[in-house]
Amino acid sequence: MDNRNNLQEMFLNTLRRERMPVSVFLVNGIKLTGRIDSFDQFVIHLKGHDQAGQMVFKHAISTISPSREVELTPPPPREA
CA distance 64 to 32: 9
Task: Encode pLDDT of 21-70 as tens digits.
Answer: 999 999 999 999 999 999 999 999 999 887 789 999 999 999 999 999 88
CA distance 4 to 67: 24
Query: Could you say which DSSP state residue 6 is in?
Result: -
Task: Report pLDDT for 33.
Answer: 95
Closest CA to 65 of 36, 28, 45: 36
Give the right CATH number for 3-66 from 3.30.1130.10, 2.40.420.20, 2.30.30.100, 3.90.110.10.
2.30.30.100
Task: Report pLDDT for 78.
Answer: 72
5 vs 25, residue with greater confidence: 25
CA distance 7 to 9: 5
* pTM attached to this predicted model: 0.80
What is the dihedral angle through the alpha carbons of 24, 72, 35, 13, rounded to the nearest 10 degrees?
110
